[in-house]
């Protein structure tokens, strides 16, 4: 039950993009088409989950016992960069077509602050290993969900008649704020 | 201080080594010949060769799995240049160059099934369900994929008519003097 609560809270109530405002660059940048949004969501989900698991171990067996809290950001970024590189190699080997589709977005996951943000939130929350894995997975699923939803909205927005001054990013941000407002409806669900 | 420096160094070396091993194990061998062959193919990904797109056809050519006459829209010119690149002699006797073609839909036979629209690789067919379809001649590149799927044989392939602007003198036949 505790894990279900963690998952719902991470995916919907405290959504990475719409409630914590992390990963906004890819949120605006990659969501022009649904298929790229799906690919980005899947790759980011894998990276967040793997790096959160490794970072949990690094935090508990290296940083905390030796009092190296000030090295947290550097070591976490190191782990994230390595896991992204590894993901890239695996995707390239297993599915060349997906690799071609994702293109530049794959290496850019390294600088996606949602990945580092989730890892730092784990440390702040002082979660167990399973709890933190569930939290990371649910957060990244919430991230993918919002990416796909927003990509769908933007695909329709292209066909709409928008005043010239609002065309492009401005109307995108307005739409994002409306989507964030609708996600605020979930805040009544949480026990936290 | 020592622990901090040491731990970061160890982590860096370990992760770097791991990535190095992963890169070695998951290496994707790329054939430079593939890129060159891909550039010689038409690049419209029509799929008539039986491969999914020109890139995969080029890969099969590079491995020697496909004959140089693999590309029907490319015709004789592409087959000859491929044969030259790969250093093989191509049997071009069956490869008659028919000249450019385009698809035409017979209006009274079209039942509006939209199958040809789904098949067209250059979006040259206009129409809707149970409405008559029509081919935009300027966009059609004559791959004949719609011709194959049409259930009522309403599509025929026509030679692009010779107009005043496209007519030219017959090319001089050099072959007979060389041999």
- Rounded to the nearest angstrom, the gap between the alpha carbon of residue A128 and the centroid of all alpha carbons in its chain is 20
pLDDT band per the 50, 70, 90 thresholds, residue A77: very high
Does the complex come out with an ipTM higher than 0.85? Answer: no
pTM above 0.90, yes or no: no
Report residue A188's pLDDT band, with 50, 70 and 90 as the boundaries.
Answer: confident
What is the pLDDT at residue B9?
Answer: 92
CATH 1.10.15.40-classified regions of chain B: 32-86
State the span(s) of chain B assigned CATH 3.30.70.20.
Answer: 101-159
Separation CA A2–CA A10 (nearest Å)? 12
How many residues are given for chain A? 192
In chain B, the residue whose alpha carbon lies closest to the alpha carbon of A75 is B8
| B138 touches B160 (CB < 8 A) | no
A85: chain B residues, CB-CB within 8 Å? 19
- Put simply, the answer to whether A66 touches B26 (Cβ < 8 Å) is no
3-state DSSP helix/strand/coil % of chain B, to nearest 5: 40, 10, 50
**In the beta sheet, which residues pair with residue B125?**
B135
Q: Which runs of consecutive H residues, i.e. helices, occur in B52-169?
A: 53-63, 75-86, 115-119, 145-149
DSSP classification of residue A160: S
Task: Number of A to B CB contacts under 8 A, please give it.
Answer: 41
CA distance A151 to B62: 39
pLDDT, residue B159, reads: 83
- For chain B, give me the number of helices (H) and strands (E)? 7, 4
Q: Is the pLDDT of residue B107 over 60?
A: yes
Q: What is the pLDDT of residue A111?
A: 84
pLDDT confidence band for A117 (50 / 70 / 90): very high
CATH of domain B101-159: 3.30.70.20
* CATH top class, domain B32-86: mainly alpha
Interface probe with A: pick from B17, B22, B35, most Cβ of A within 10 Å: B22
Task: For helices A34-58 and A113-125, give the axis angle rounded to 10 degrees.
Answer: 40
Does pLDDT of A191 surpass 60? no
User: Which tens digit of pLDDT belongs to each residue from B19-71?
Assistant: 999 888 887 777 778 888 888 888 877 777 777 778 888 888 888 888 888 88
Cβ atoms of residues A72 and A120 within 8 Å = yes
All residues of chain A having their beta carbon less than 8 Å from the beta carbon of residue B15 are 78-79, 82
Q: Does B22 touch chain A (CB under 8 A)?
A: yes
Q: Is the pLDDT of residue B97 over 70?
A: no
Q: Does residue B175 register a pLDDT over 60?
A: no
Q: Per the structure block, which two tokens stand in for B6?
A: 């040491």
Domain boundaries, chain A: 2-183
- pLDDT at residue A137, as a whole number: 95
- Tell the residue number behind the tokens 């492009």, with chain if given: A168
């Amino acid at each position: 039950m505790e894990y279900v609560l963690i998952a719902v809270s991470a995916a919907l109530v405290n959504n990475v993009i719409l409630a914590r405002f992390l990963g906004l660059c890819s949120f605006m940048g990659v969501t022009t088409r649904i298929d790229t949004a799906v690919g980005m969501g899947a790759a980011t989900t894998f990276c967040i989950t793997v790096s959160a698991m490794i970072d949990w171990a690094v935090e508990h067996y290296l940083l905390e016992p030796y009092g190296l809290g000030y090295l947290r950001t550097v070591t976490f970024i190191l782990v994230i960069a390595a896991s992204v590189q590894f993901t890239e190699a695996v995707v390239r080997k297993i599915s060349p077509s997906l690799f071609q589709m994702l293109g530049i977005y794959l290496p850019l996951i390294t600088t996606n602050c949602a990945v580092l943000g989730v890892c730092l939130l784990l440390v702040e929350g002082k979660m167990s290993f399973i709890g933190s894995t569930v939290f990371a997975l649910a957060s990244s699923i919430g991230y993918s969900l919002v990416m796909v939803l927003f990509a769908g909205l933007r695909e329709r927005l292209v066909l709409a008649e928008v005043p010239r001054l609002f065309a492009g990013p401005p109307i995108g941000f307005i739409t994002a704020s409306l989507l964030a407002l609708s996600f605020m409806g979930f805040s009544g669900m949480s026990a936290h | 201080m020592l622990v901090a420096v040491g731990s970061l160094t160890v982590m860096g070396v370990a992760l770097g080594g791991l990535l190095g091993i992963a890169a070695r194990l998951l290496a994707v061998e790329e054939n430079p010949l593939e890129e060159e062959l891909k550039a010689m193919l038409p690049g419209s990904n029509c799929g008539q060769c039986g491969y999914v797109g020109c890139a995969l056809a080029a890969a099969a050519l590079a491995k020697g799995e496909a004959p140089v006459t693999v590309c029907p829209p490319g015709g004789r010119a592409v087959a000859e240049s491929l044969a030259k690149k790969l250093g093989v002699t191509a049997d071009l006797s069956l490869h008659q160059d028919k000249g450019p073609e385009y698809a035409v839909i017979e209006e009274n036979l079209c039942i509006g099934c939209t199958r040809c629209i789904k098949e067209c690789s250059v979006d040259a067919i206009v129409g809707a369900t149970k409405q008559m379809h029509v081919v935009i001649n300027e966009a059609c590149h004559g791959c004949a994929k719609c011709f194959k799927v049409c259930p009522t044989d309403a599509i025929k392939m026509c030679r692009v008519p010779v107009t005043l602007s496209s007519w030219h003198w017959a090319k001089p036949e050099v072959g007979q003097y060389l041999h």
